[in-house]
Structure 1
Amino acid sequence: MVPQDHTLARSGLLVLLPTYNERSTLPATVSGILHAIPTAHVLIIDDGSPDGTGQIADELASDPRVEAHHRSGKQGLGTAYAWGFQEAVDRGYRFAVAMDSDGSHQVSELPALIAAAEAGAGLVIGTRWIPGGTIVNWPWYRRWISRTGTAVARIALRSQLRDLTSGFRVLDTRWISRLDLAALDSEGYAFQVETAWTLERLGCPIAEVPISFIERVEGHSKMSVGIVWEALRGVLRWGWRLRFSAAPLAITDTQRGGGA
């Protein structure tokens, strides 16, 4: 469990790193974050990794800027981020960063995303499908799945965002607090689509910053047919709500009533 009086509380920036079997990549990711943003704090959320990632996380937590939280079993990326976002809000952080722990997201690009958030964006998305964005070492079918999925989501959700599935993000906790995190019903990567689309519909100022996504060279990708199907099913369901439901958004009661 996370101690409530941990020294990481009440800082400006909390980087959330959900992990499952990432012992070979996690140390370099954490080291890179702290080198790029020395004032950042890192919260590792491990889903009971059988490969010993949790032990590595505990060792990294010897640095007072790093904290490890252990969950019992694989509960999904979405629930890890929902829990982490709530921690960021409750502890008074100004920004929460979502990023992969496998080295696919380049830590060197994090300052640019943070700068966009500091300039006023409530959500900053590290975007692959805009000028300046690139993907390295993806086979053609992964590119096709990503581009097709993004196109379908944009049409179904009437979204202007160009990379709804990107997992490299900075969020202002004042906008996170407007979300009803318990109502977000995605367990996997569809959580990225659901949160971005919900914030877009709420009028959140969103910036898309080009990034270079590099396919992991160690460990194994978590992408699967089941994950793709969950995202597609979610997009179609949300698109239906958008058109035919009176309350399609996962927003707080205060926000639903028109409050700030």
Structure 2
Amino acid sequence: MTDSLVIIPTYNEIENIEAIVKAVFELQKEFDVLVVDDNSPDGTSEEVKKLQNQFPNKLFLEVRKEKAGLGTAYIHGFKWAIAKGYDYIYEMDADFSHRPDDLPRLYRACLNGADVAIGSRYKRGVNVVNWPLYRILLSYGASFYVKFITGMRIHDPTAGFVCYKRKVLEDIDLDSIKFIGYAFQIEMKFRAYLKKYKIEEVSIIFRDREKGKSKMSSSIVREGIFGVFKMKIWSLFRKHKF
């Protein structure tokens, strides 16, 4: 058994799932993969089941009843990973916006002392490919906003390509995570930051998906904008719970 598990949440990713899974398993460093599928109507989970025949005891699948948000999918995966004893637990999108080749770089960052390693789009300028200008401005502007409100000195606090050491996820009360969309990624980093864990950013190149549809929506953006302020208030008045 490897020490590393990559969690890939999916909803209608039939066009990407086979390629992304195989790309992870082709890496020299060994990773297991857990797909958390929200009962995709396009047959994503059925495709994963077929792939499990090729990759027994390496590819795992959890199917939830319905689409319930990115954050709850990851929390489901985190709890599964902790129960199975993995030491390094990764978040990664299914659509190749996060390159599997960068997984070993996040792993090395944690081996070298980081408790949380972030695949950062903005550590060295703006490393985003194929995004329209408004998406870049929205994302980059959100980073400044989050830093200003929370005090975190993280260049890419909304990043969704992350490696957590198991002890971090065990220490965070996953059942009390409040956000399920855009703000989920910020909340996880903020909670690790408040608990004084070492957070390190690893510069990556982020590419917009070429296949399938983006899950971004106006409600997710609103959650991010107002959620950050709420998180800061909660941290000030409920330190014993946050």
Fold-level match, TM-score > 0.5? yes
Q: Percent identity?
A: 35
Q: Hey, what's the Cα distance between the residues in 2 that align with 1:147 and 1:248?
A: 32
- Structure 2: how far apart are the matches of 1:242 and 1:33? 37
Letter in 2 for 1:158: G
| Preserved CA contact (<8 Å) 2:181 2:220 | yes
Q: Quick one: distance in 1 between partners of 2:210 and 2:73?
A: 24
TM-superposed CA distance for 1:11, in Å, is 3.5
Query: Is the counterpart of residue 79 in structure 1 residue 43 in structure 2?
Result: no
Correspondence for 2:14? 23
Gaps of 5+ in 2: none
Structure 1 position 20, deviation (Å)? 0.3
1:159 partnered with 2:152: yes
Q: SS of the residue aligned with 2:26? A: helix
User: In the alignment, what sits opposite 1:238?
Assistant: 231
Scaled by the length of structure 2, what TM-score is found? 0.95
Contact 1:13-1:94 at 8 Å conserved across structures: yes
Report the counterpart of residue 189 of structure 1 in structure 2: 182
Q: 2:103 maps to what in 1?
A: 110
CA contact (8 A) 2:29 2:104 kept: no
Whole-angstrom distance in 2 between the partners of 1:246 and 1:227:
25
Q: Tell me, in whole angstroms, the C-alpha distance in 2 between the residues paired with 1:21 and 1:195.
A: 25
Q: Distance in 1 between matches of 2:60 and 2:115?
A: 25
Whether the aligned pair in 2 keeps the contact of 1:133 and 1:211 (CA below 8 Å) is no
Q: CA shift at 1:132, angstroms? A: 6.9
Q: 2: distance between equivalents of 1:105 and 1:13?
A: 17
Gaps of 5+ in 1: 1-9, 251-260
**Which whole-Å CA distance do the structure 1 matches of 2:241 and 2:127 have between them?**
31
CA drift of 1:213 comes to 0.3
The secondary structure found in structure 2 opposite 1:97 is: strand
Report the counterpart of residue 239 of structure 2 in structure 1.
Answer: 247
Task: Say if 2:127 is the partner of 1:134.
Answer: yes
Deviation at 1:175, TM superposition (A): 1.2
1:37 offset after TM fit, Å?
4.5
CA RMSD of aligned residues (A): 1.4
Give me the whole-angstrom Cα distance separating, in 1, the residues matched to 2:37 and 2:97.
Answer: 18
Deviating more after overlay: 213-222 vs 182-191: 182-191
